[in-house]
Copies of this chain bind each other. A is one copy, B any other.
């Protein structure tokens, strides 16, 4: 699946957005991310997998825990796509390193 589709699809679910928002305050492991959510840890794991696929989070094992961290690079790319809609004439898409 296309990269942008993966990202926006990942962002289209309220559970996943809530997870991302909680990660703003600092890294959390899978169990912590599952706390307070009205679903099983298996389901949370599935959501995390989608966020990871989209590149919105990175994960790193620390003992028995998997620690999730925001990866803001992709946020920036999504933002850039949206921002382009405010430039009147430019041709769309085609991510390039700003030049």
Contact = CB atoms under 8 A, between A and B. Distances in A.
Contacts of A72: 85-86
Interface residues of A, number: 37
Interface stretch (A31-39, A40-48, A90-98): A90-98
B4 A90 contact: no
20 contacts: A2-B14, A4-B11, A4-B17, A5-B12, A5-B14, A8-B9, A20-B85, A21-B93, A24-B84, A24-B85, A24-B90, A24-B93, A25-B93, A27-B93, A69-B95, A75-B86, A78-B82, A79-B79, A79-B83, A82-B82
Given A8-B11, A21-B93, A25-B91, 19 more contacts: A5-B12, A5-B13, A9-B9, A9-B12, A24-B85, A24-B90, A26-B91, A26-B92, A27-B93, A27-B94, A27-B95, A60-B99, A69-B95, A70-B93, A75-B85, A78-B82, A79-B79, A79-B82, A82-B82
